[in-house]
Amino acid sequence: MNLLGKFRQRLWQRTQRGIAAVEFALTLPIWIAMLMGVGDGSYYLLVNEKCDRIAYSVTDIVTQYSTITKANLNDILLATSQLMNPFPFGANGVVVISSIFQPSTGSPIVEWQYSGGGTLASQSSKIGSTNGNAVLPNGLTLNANDNVIISEVYYHFTPLFVSEKIFNSQTIYRVAVYKPRLSPLVTPPT
């Protein structure tokens, strides 16, 4: 190969490397945006799953008591921060526990409610308020003299990376319904 041929070959290789560098520079913002979106999407799914776990675990534990006190409920709600690890629950979430009783006639009634959490503590229950009519979730109906415990979890989700214009902050809501196992839990906790 002559000198001119070697020069052309080197020039062609440099041109190809330059084109690849330009292509990479042009697509890099797209790749970064996709990576951040996947990160926030995964974070959202994980937080959703943890909120489900909190709702079902709290309800399951409460229904194992024959009578329950406010101290018991405080201890149960302390466990929510452990279930939410490594994400903070106290500042961003609240749990509302309600006891619902269906009298032999009329609508179901909220016998008592207990809530605990952080800044969302003012969040009102979608089930209803104490001594008021209960709005049961997902078309649930109760037989006469039935009692159920319903836990509602509210969690304020804020994306980690992506702007809130793209991936909005929102309040995640999860609910779980269990029937007490040992005795009806219609007496308000003391």
pLDDT reported for residue 56: 93
Number of domains in the chain: 1
The pLDDT assigned to 13 comes to 65
Is there a domain that residue 72 lies in?
Answer: yes
Inside any domain, residue 184: no
Report d(CA 84, CA 55) in Å as an integer.
Answer: 11
Does the residue 149 lie in any domain? yes
Residue 188 domain-assigned (yes or no): no
**Domain annotation covers residue 186:** no
Give tens-digit pLDDT for 105-153. 888 888 888 887 655 556 678 888 888 888 888 888 888 888 899 999 9
User: Lowest mean pLDDT: which of 22-31, 160-169, 171-180?
Assistant: 160-169
CA dist., res. 158 & res. 140, Å (int)? 31
12 is a domain residue: yes
Closest residue by Cα to residue 94 from 49, 45, 53, 152 = 152
Q: What mean pLDDT is predicted for residues 157-184?
A: 79
24 occurs within a structural domain: yes
The answer to whether residue 185 sits within a structural domain is no
Domain that includes residue 87, residue range: 3-178
